[in-house]
Chain A
Amino acid sequence: MNPKKLLIIELHVNNHPGVMSHITGLFSRRGYNMEGILCGAIGEGETSLIYLLIAEDEKLEQIILQLSKLYDVLNVKLRPDYDHKVFFDIDKLLTQQPG
């Protein structure tokens, strides 16, 4: 396994259909890597939380600054304290409804 250190970025974003393209588009056009993504609406559904799993590298500072510039991104937090196991246990996340 690659020993690179993984980090979670927490984004608080406006919840509308274009937001995800703004974020993933930023990663692809600037050549940043994203290892995982998790997203869900919060509260009344006006906003969402997005968790991005990224490898810590020299681009991290830029990634944070570029994300902060996005109009629909209300807040960016680095979450080194979060366990990122969930990204590797996706199959366990979705369990079948009983019967």
Chain B
Amino acid sequence: MEMTGAEIIVRLLEQKGIKTVAGIPGAANLHLYNALKSSNIRHILARHEQGAGFMAQGMARTTGKAGVCFSTSGPGATNLLTALADAKLDSIPIVAITGQVASAAIGTDAFQEIDTYGLTIPITKHNFLVRTVEELLTVIPEAFHIAESGRPGPVVIDIPKDIQQQTCKFEQWPEFKKISNESSVSENQAAEIAAMINSAQQPVILAGGGVNNEDSAGFLLRLAEFNNIPVTYTMRALGAFPPDHRLSLGMIGMHGTRYANALIEEADLVIALGARFDDRATGISKNFCTKPKIIHIDIDASEINKIKKATYSLTARAEEVLKKILPLIVSDGREQWLKEIDRVKKSMPYVSAPEDSDLFHPFNIISEVVHNVPNDTIISTDVGQHQMWVVQAWPFRKPRTFISSSGLGTMGFGVPAAIGAALANPDKKVVCFSGDGSILMNIQELVTMAENNLNITVLVFNNHSLGLVKQHQELFFKKNFMATQFEAKPDFCALAKAFGIGGIDLTEAPEPAKTLIEALAFEGPVLVNIPIDSSEIVLPMVKPGAPNKDMIF
């Protein structure tokens, strides 16, 4: 066979089963786009490379498979960086193919030359700068394998434009390595873990992003129910355990439930599954889990003992371990412990809207949405108070139905990630909860939504402020509000319409609930502006630097 580098890239993506790619063309990836023209791969033209990166994430987060995005060199690549860093912190598999200036021009400060390789070292799982056209045949399959295997993460393949253009003769196509499902857990290890669980008096499971997939979630539920172990989870694990289950303690951490934060300290054994003890979950880590023994199971060996010393640790996928230990777990009623759980839960009632509140209370809006969308709806959020309210109030019962920037906390995630989710799940509804601050960070992608006529409802919680930051100023800076209240207030409905999607404002609607329900029933892109009282704050909350158990409520 003889083909150009660009053709090789496109054929390999097809062989990998990639259906959709998001990106923006430019001088350094024109050959790639030229080859893409004759492919069945659907190209989604983003309007900013960060948008393309988050679209790839939206596909990856909802399917577990690597999402793909393209950018040109220089500014195209730098625009992509935030989405890559975001994918790194949340362990999301994406493969970003960036164009680079011609090999001979590298190092000369050529037009649109930037050291993409150097810039992306700290924010990718791995990166490649391709030096010969032949290398593409190994690098591309390898990049997907790296992105999807072990602890997933973003991979960059930087490809100079002469390499896209050159032809290469080769005998046969490379194989895409299968991801090994072999279990690395020995009978002994399983027995040791099971014994610790069986003999614990007051165990708690701490579930992290590593269990947010169908297999793990199924095993987790069986383990919890069979041995009556209460479960708390991090934001990355939302959807892995039903929040309304009798054994659910809800989310742990800064805006978690008071009882999860209190009860984990009463435990004698914490079973951390695919969790990395992030500081948003633990608060000051030396004050976290001071008493309990810790079993730490994570696919990434370097997470073990990084933040918390484990009593027993195992480097393995959560589902492997769960599957192996389940037959060794004894049934246990744990009446004593469950009684204590019940007592603490009752003494610390969970968040809800006040009795006399109207539709526009965030929790009432969320509950209205819950009741008017299909059960398998995918929720994306931006970053801020609106995100935390969704986390607190939405009953996520299935893995991969909640997508949100957790580790990096990137405003601007919501809209493009929703687009990626909609592209990868054409028969599902997608709802994006955003704020009037965050939405402006990737507002240009509304036009991408229009162009592809996607079934997405964007709900803008409009409190005329950078609410979550303002909340910190209110609580910890003596209400010295600085740069958090917007003076100019854009007309988001007019903006939506200008971009070619529906725009609805609940502010003046005579029957706002009815209007909201109609907007949600609409099978196409629409934005709804929802006025939110700017004095609403997210509680309970752990003061930054304080131990988790001392929550403000």
Contacts and interface: CB of A to CB of B under 8 A. Distances in A.
A61 B305 contact: yes
Given A18-B117, A69-B300, A62 B306 contact: yes
Interface stretch (B121-129, B237-245, B406-414): B121-129
Contact of A71 (B118, B122, B126): B126
A49 B530 CA distance: 60
Contacts of B122: 25, 29
Interface of B is mostly: mixed
Nearest to B302: A65
Interface residues of B, number: 16
Contacts of A69: 300-302
Contacts of B305: 61-62
A66 interface: yes
Nearest to A28: B122
- Nearest 10 Cβ contacts at the A-B interface: A65-B302, A71-B126, A25-B121, A66-B302, A29-B122, A65-B301, A18-B117, A21-B121, A69-B302, A25-B122
Contacts of A70: 126
B146 interface: yes
Nearest to A64: B302
A29 B120 CA distance: 13
A74 to B, nearest CB: 14
Interface string A30-64: 00000000000000000000000000000001100
Residue in B117, B300, B302, B306 with the greatest tally of chain A CB atoms within 10 Å: B302
A67 to B, nearest CB: 9
Contacts of A22: 121
Contacts of A62: 302, 305-306
Nearest to B121: A25
A69 B121 CA distance: 13
Contacts of A71: 125-126, 146
A21 B304 CA distance: 25
21 contacts: A16-B131, A18-B117, A18-B121, A18-B129, A21-B117, A21-B118, A21-B121, A25-B121, A25-B122, A29-B122, A65-B301, A65-B302, A65-B304, A66-B302, A68-B301, A69-B300, A69-B302, A70-B126, A71-B125, A71-B126, A71-B146
Contacts of A66: 302
A68 B129 CA distance: 21
Contacts of B146: 71
A68 B304 CA distance: 14
Given A69-B300, A69-B302, A71-B126, 13 more contacts: A16-B131, A18-B117, A18-B121, A18-B129, A21-B117, A21-B118, A22-B121, A29-B122, A62-B305, A65-B301, A66-B302, A69-B301, A71-B146
Nearest to A59: B306
A21 B122 CA distance: 10
Contacts of A25: 121-122
A51 to B, nearest CB: 21
Most buried by A among B121, B127, B301, B305: B121
A19 to B, nearest CB: 10
A71 B128 CA distance: 10
B124 to A, nearest CB: 10
